[in-house]
Chain A
Amino acid sequence: MIYNLPFLTVVALIAIGMYAIIFKRNLIKIAVGITILESGVNLFLITLGYREGGVAPIFTNLPPGISPDQIPEKMVLPVPQALTLTSIVIGVAVLALILSFTINIYRKYGTLDAGKIRRLKE
């Protein structure tokens, strides 16, 4: 059971982020929740690709003790890491866009509360 702790951590992160998105009214808190949910998804991808006792899939300066005949079995999976790498940069771009929209909303309505914004709209 304790060996599945990374998966449980992933679900905990996603739960925290989803709670902030659903039940919080402040737009900044919603942005923080989206970021936490994203990190949960990134951790899930990395966790899926981990192989026990594996090293990073890079052939330059391999740690000693890795011989050529045990190569595919002694390296972690590269494709989830590549997907995570793409996902992180997309997360940064989307977060910047969310924050700039939040700045615009605050200038127009003078509040960050999602419910009050809905009420102020004529």
Chain B
Amino acid sequence: MKNEEMNEGKMTVIVQTIAALLFPLALIFSFYVIMHGHLTPGGGFQGGAIGASAVVLLIVAYGVKHVEEKMSEGGFSVFESLGGLIFVVVAIFGLFLATSFLANFLVNEPIFGKIPGWGESPLNSGGILPILNIAVGMKVIGGLSAVVLILALISREGEEK
């Protein structure tokens, strides 16, 4: 029984259960790191790496075949391209609404309030920085997950041959 499961690239039931429990938690933590990128340590790159590591956890625990039925690397690639598109569109909005490409056109606007001084509220809005953080986070999650998925798939097929 063990050998059959190993051949399919799966790990034991204990590892699978823990991975299924940890996968949503890792995604939530990744989203937290991305959303608080302009306030706390972190940002789009780091949060994206955490989200991609959640997908890697699933691949390690359940095997590539099982994961590949649920999520395809083409979908990840589309997700990544969507992130890049959001980045460029927000940057071009800066060109039209403010001075230049990638200008921070949302900061110091009335809807985002005044920048607080020392020791006041830590809630700085950051202008377009959270939007760019989300875009880059989507890019990194999609890109690294697609790379890991396709490399794992290729190496599995090589073992079978």
A residues contacting B by CB (< 8 A) are 56, 58-61, 68, 85, 88-89, 92-93, 96, 99-100, 103, 107
Contacts and interface: CB of A to CB of B under 8 A. Distances in A.
Nearest to A68: B118
B146 to A, nearest CB: 10
Contact of A60 (B49, B118, B122, B140): B122
5 A-B pairs with least C-beta separation: A96-B147, A60-B122, A60-B39, A68-B118, A89-B45
A89 B154 CA distance: 23
Main secondary structure of the interface of A (DSSP, over half): helix
Contacts of B49: 92
A96 B41 contact: no
B144 A58 contact: no
A96 B151 contact: yes
A58 B45 contact: no
Interface residues of B, number: 16
Interface of B: 39-41, 43, 45, 49, 118, 122, 140, 143-144, 147, 151, 154-155, 158
Nearest to B140: A89
Given A96-B147, A99-B151, A100-B151, A56 B43 contact: no
B151 A85 contact: no
A58 B41 contact: yes
A100 B143 CA distance: 14
A85 B48 CA distance: 13
Contacts of B39: 58, 60
A99 B143 CA distance: 15
Nearest to A106: B158
Given A60-B122, A68-B118, A103-B154, A92 B144 contact: yes
Contact of B43 (A68, A85, A92, A96): A85
Contacts of A61: 40, 122
Nearest to A107: B158
Contacts of A88: 45
13 contacts: A56-B41, A58-B41, A60-B39, A61-B122, A85-B43, A85-B45, A89-B45, A93-B143, A100-B151, A100-B154, A103-B151, A103-B158, A107-B158
A60 B154 CA distance: 44
Contacts of B40: 58, 60-61
